[in-house]
């Protein structure tokens, strides 16, 4: 919350936030951690080259150095626009992102060497592309931090954002399959060699819309409710818009055959409702609905087939991956089994960066990047990455607890939960805990849309954590004697409201 | 590349990875404990169970600057505002720094202003008045740490 007293007419007039002496910004801690993370990325690159090529080339440090410059740029932007933002989010995410770039470059090197080609350049192949995507993502994140000086401004555009979210989700469903379909899932816009996945961006828009709407209607939702079966149900007209938006996106996703994202939106919606109304009954309803729906779909798939057959197949693959019939079938458990074997080969400490054979796993650069990395850094290394993800999510949730306005609470809570759930869905899928659904691993998988959307998410979290940890600025009305009286700022959800003290 | 170097690189990388994780946790830990300490003060209403960590705040009362404004009673009990150099306005108006939902509070009720490290409370023409501990506030009055400012049913305190 840099300056809540932004006049509605000129949001650009928010000046740089004055640093209060004596309050810790911890920006230097962030810088130190960032340097450490980049050293790790360079070390990873060197180890990969040592074991893959047999020597450490003189340019092994270039990708790490380029990434350092990029992250340093973001760090400087944060220093000036969000000085009180959480110090560990950027370094943790930067390390994951950097290791992702390193692993993709490792795949490039492996591919080139197996075809007896020279070692590819730094900007070649998927590793180079990921580097470029990182640059674009960080620019987007910096722009978001520069433009959105106060996260409450976002609530003014909530309905626009909700509509944008829906449109983004729907675009691929409407487009012809030749443009939008990749591997059986219709969620892309492909223009030549360039493709984006609009659904990734929709989640940020939808979180903002849900948060805004629920903050406005929070009291009505929890007070004017009917009691049924011991659970309070809000009136339909209060919940209408949210349910509409959510059902629409869910239906579209099912139609696009992207169950993972559908699950993501479902969970996001339930949790936002739970946080807004403080009723655990929402979680129970949500889980019951989810498991009930899944079971019904499974039974229907077994008996009726048709649109549910795809789902039934996936469940079969999950239940019996090592079954010969499942393994041999096209689109069967081959990928899952290869991933599991890959993780198993890695064991506790892995074969060492660059010493595995990740190409046995199909799509190792996308959905199965965790399996590929797991083979090389082992359980020991993977759990470190998981702890880093966990810490990022924890910092987001803590910002949600500490920030003083309800809208910020819901947005931060929703965004960090989405991030956590996405990691759970893809990792659970790879390890066979839950049926596999296509999801990108945030910050790690190759692909621009996911990287951009998740960095935007991080920028939003940084903005909110800045508000949560920074000092309170003065209210607009009665300070500054003599000045013209400012119009009361529209603060959607009074800024000191506490959802649960 | 000799096998030995590869092994060292491989395990060295994993160890570095975990050192990074623990460094991150270390940075957070300081932050967490700062949060826990002030939270325990918030969670215990005056006189109830607040006796255990009493040693520190008592010592801190002398000479330490106020860092937080804490709502101790009323609808917003538990809210904390970190104090900077900007004045804090209190009232029911939406643009106040602390928007209190209290039937006995005016739209613009009171404000807290810092002067040379000391915070002053001032009533800005409220209907029901602002009280510092028991006394009614008529002009700008210095606010010691831990003394309740009462506005309607709401109580506020400055904390280090």
Q: Tell me, what's the ipTM?
A: 0.82
Q: Is A70 on the interface with B (CB under 8 A)?
A: no
Q: List chain B pLDDT tens, one digit each, 160 residues.
A: 678 888 888 899 999 999 999 999 988 886 666 544 444 333 333 334 334 443 344 333 445 677 788 888 877 777 777 787 778 888 887 777 787 877 788 888 888 888 877 888 888 888 888 888 888 888 888 888 888 888 888 888 888 7
Q: Is the pLDDT of residue A386 over 80?
A: yes
Report the pLDDT value the prediction gives residue B136, as an integer from 0 to 100: 86
d(CA B11, CA A226): 60
Chain A residues in contact with B45 (beta carbon < 8 A): none
Q: Is B158 on the interface with A (CB under 8 A)?
A: no
Which of A93, A127, A147 is the last residue in one of the domains?
A147
Q: Are residues A112 and A242 in the same domain?
A: no
Q: Evaluate whether residue A479 is within a structural domain.
A: no
What is the token pair recorded at A71?
Answer: 């992250």
Residues 260 through 289 of chain A touching chain B, CB cutoff 8 Å: none
Q: Is A483 on the interface with B (CB under 8 A)?
A: no
CB pairs under 8 A between A and B: 173
**B138 burial class (0-12, 13-18, 19+ CB within 10 angstroms)?**
exposed
Q: Are residues A134 and A173 in the same domain?
A: no
Report the pLDDT value the prediction gives residue A167, as an integer from 0 to 100: 87
Q: Are residues A255 and A370 in the same domain?
A: yes
pLDDT per residue over A89-117, tens digit each? 999 999 999 999 999 999 999 889 888 88
Q: Are residues A257 and A400 in the same domain?
A: yes
Q: Are residues A289 and A413 in the same domain?
A: yes
d(CA A224, CA A235): 7
By DSSP bridging, strand A194-196 and strand A225-228 are: unpaired
Report the pLDDT value the prediction gives residue B139, as an integer from 0 to 100: 82
Q: Are residues A53 and A75 in the same domain?
A: yes
Mutate which: A50, A475, A476, A495, vs B, most B CBs within 10 A: A475
pLDDT per residue over A303-346, tens digit each? 876 667 777 888 888 888 888 888 888 778 888 999 999 999 99
Which of A129, A147, A165 is the last residue in one of the domains?
A147
The total number of structural domains in chain A stands at 2
Ramachandran region, residue B20 (left: φ > 0; alpha: ψ -120 to 50; beta: rest): alpha
Which of A117, A147, A177 is the last residue in one of the domains?
A147
Q: Evaluate whether residue A485 is within a structural domain.
A: no
B101 with B92: CB under 8 angstroms? yes
- CA A33 to chain B, closest CA, distance in angstroms equals 7
Q: Is A494 on the interface with B (CB under 8 A)?
A: yes
When pLDDT is averaged across residues A214-237 and rounded to a whole number, the result is: 68
Angle between helical axes of A281-303 and A259-277 (0-180°, round to 10): 160
Q: Are residues A290 and A242 in the same domain?
A: yes
Q: Is A436 on the interface with B (CB under 8 A)?
A: no
Residue A393, domain extent: 152-470+491-496
> Mean pLDDT score of chain A, rounded to an integer?
81
Q: Are residues A280 and A140 in the same domain?
A: no
> Kind and range of the H or E element at B81?
strand B80-82
Chain A residues in contact with B124 (beta carbon < 8 A): 478
| More confident site: A381 or A55 | A381
Residues 212 through 251 of chain A touching chain B, CB cutoff 8 Å: none
From residue A481, how far is each of A11, A405, A415 by CA, in Å?
22, 27, 40
Q: Evaluate whether residue A486 is within a structural domain.
A: no
Q: Are residues A159 and A284 in the same domain?
A: yes
- CA B117 to chain A, closest CA, distance in angstroms equals 12
Residue B117: closest CA among B79, B67, B76: B67
Q: Is the pLDDT of residue A191 over 50?
A: yes
d(CA A328, CA A190): 31
Residues 54 through 93 of chain B touching chain A, CB cutoff 8 Å: 65, 69, 76-79, 81-89, 93
B95 with B102: CB under 8 angstroms? no
**A113 burial class (0-12, 13-18, 19+ CB within 10 angstroms)?**
middle
Mutate which: B4, B8, B82, B159, vs A, most A CBs within 10 A: B82
Q: Is the pLDDT of residue A69 over 90?
A: yes
Residues 344 through 373 of chain A touching chain B, CB cutoff 8 Å: 349-350, 352-353, 355
pTM of the model: 0.77
- Among chain A residues, CA nearest to B69: A472
Report the pLDDT value the prediction gives residue B43, as an integer from 0 to 100: 38
From residue B72, how far is each of A29, A196, B47, B112, B144 by CA, in Å?
33, 51, 12, 16, 15
Residue A443: closest CA among A398, A386, A493: A386
Residues 374 through 403 of chain A touching chain B, CB cutoff 8 Å: 377-378, 380-381, 384-385, 387-388, 391, 394-395, 398, 402
Residues 35 through 54 of chain A touching chain B, CB cutoff 8 Å: 36-37, 39-40, 43-44, 46-47, 50-51, 54
Q: Is A357 helix (H, G, I), strand (E, B) or coil?
A: coil
Q: Are residues A205 and A338 in the same domain?
A: yes
Q: Are residues A212 and A247 in the same domain?
A: yes
What band does A427 get if pLDDT is binned at 50, 70 and 90? very high
Q: Evaluate whether residue A297 is within a structural domain.
A: yes
- CA A236 to chain B, closest CA, distance in angstroms equals 28
Q: Are residues A319 and A348 in the same domain?
A: yes
A95 with A384: CB under 8 angstroms? no
Q: Evaluate whether residue A477 is within a structural domain.
A: no
Chain A residues in contact with B20 (beta carbon < 8 A): 33, 36-37, 40, 95, 384
Q: Evaluate whether residue A481 is within a structural domain.
A: no
């Amino acid at each position: 919350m840099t300056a809540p007293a932004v006049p509605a007419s000129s949001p650009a007039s928010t000046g740089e936030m004055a640093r209060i002496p004596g309050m810790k910004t911890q920006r230097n801690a962030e810088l130190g951690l960032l340097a450490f993370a980049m050293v790790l990325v360079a070390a990873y690159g060197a180890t990969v080259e040592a074991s893959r090529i047999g020597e450490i080339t003189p340019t092994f440090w270039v990708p790490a150095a380029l990434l350092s410059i990029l992250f340093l740029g973001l760090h400087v932007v944060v220093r000036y626009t969000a000085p009180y933002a959480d110090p560990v989010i950027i370094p943790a995410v930067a390390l994951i992102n950097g290791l992702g770039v390193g692993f993709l470059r490792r795949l490039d090197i492996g591919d080139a060497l197996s075809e007896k080609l020279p070692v590819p350049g730094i900007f070649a192949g998927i590793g180079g592309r990921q580097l470029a995507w990182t640059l674009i993502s960080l620019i987007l994140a910096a722009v978001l931090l520069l433009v959105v000086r106060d996260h409450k401004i976002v609530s003014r555009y909530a309905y626009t954002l909700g509509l944008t979210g829906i449109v983004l989700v729907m675009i691929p469903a409407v487009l012809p399959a030749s443009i939008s379909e990749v591997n059986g899932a219709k969620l892309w816009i492909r223009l030549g060699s360039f493709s984006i996945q609009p659904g990734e961006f929709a989640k940020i828009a939808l979180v903002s819309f849900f948060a805004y709407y629920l903050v406005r209607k929070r009291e009505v939702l929890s007070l004017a409710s009917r009691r049924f079966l011991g659970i309070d149900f809000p009136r339909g007209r209060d919940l209408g818009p949210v349910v509409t938006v959510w059902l629409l996106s869910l239906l579209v996703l099912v139609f696009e055959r992207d169950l993972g994202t559908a699950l993501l939106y479902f969970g996001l919606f339930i949790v936002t409702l739970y946080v807004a109304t403080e009723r655990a009954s929402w979680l129970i309803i949500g889980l019951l609905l989810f498991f009930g729906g899944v079971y019904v779909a499974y039974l229907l798939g077994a008996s009726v087939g048709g649109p549910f057959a795809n789902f039934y197949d996936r469940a079969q693959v999950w239940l019996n991956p090592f079954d010969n019939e499942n393994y041999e079938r096209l689109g069967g458990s081959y990928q899952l089994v290869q991933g599991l074997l890959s993780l198993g080969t890695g064991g506790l400490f892995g074969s060492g960066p660059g010493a595995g054979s990740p190409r046995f796993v199909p799509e190792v650069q996308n959905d199965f990047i965790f399996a590929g990395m797991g083979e090389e850094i082992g359980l020991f290394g993977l759990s470190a990455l998981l702890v880093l993800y966990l810490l990022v999510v924890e910092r987001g949730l803590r910002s949600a607890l500490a920030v003083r306005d309800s809208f910020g609470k819901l947005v931060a809570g929703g965004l960090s939960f989405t991030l956590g759930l996405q990691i759970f869905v893809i990792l659970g899928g790879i390890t066979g805990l839950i049926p596999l659904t296509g999801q990108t691993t945030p910050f790690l998988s190759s692909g621009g849309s996911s990287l951009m959307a998740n960095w935007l998410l991080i920028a939003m979290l940084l903005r909110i954590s800045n508000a949560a940890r920074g000092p309170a600025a003065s209210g607009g009305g009665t300070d500054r004697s003599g000045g013209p009286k400012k119009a009361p700022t529209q603060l959607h959800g009074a800024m000191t409201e506490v959802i649960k003290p | 590349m000799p096998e030995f170097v590869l092994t060292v690189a491989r395990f060295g990388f994993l160890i570095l990875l975990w050192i990074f994780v623990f460094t991150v946790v270390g940075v957070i830990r300081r932050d967490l404990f700062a949060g826990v300490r002030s939270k325990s003060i918030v969670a215990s209403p005056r006189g109830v169970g607040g006796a255990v960590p009493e040693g520190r705040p008592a010592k801190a009362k002398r000479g330490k600057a106020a860092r937080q404004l804490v709502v101790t009673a009323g609808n917003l009990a538990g809210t904390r505002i970190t104090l900077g150099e900007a004045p804090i306005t209190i009232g029911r108006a939406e643009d106040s720094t602390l928007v209190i939902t209290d039937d006995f509070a005016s739209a613009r009720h009171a404000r807290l202003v810092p002067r040379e490290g000391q915070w002053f409370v001032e009533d800005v023409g409220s209907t029901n008045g602002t009280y510092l501990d028991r006394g009614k506030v008529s002009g700008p009055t210095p606010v010691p740490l831990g003394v309740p400012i009462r506005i309607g049913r709401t109580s506020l305190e400055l904390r280090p």
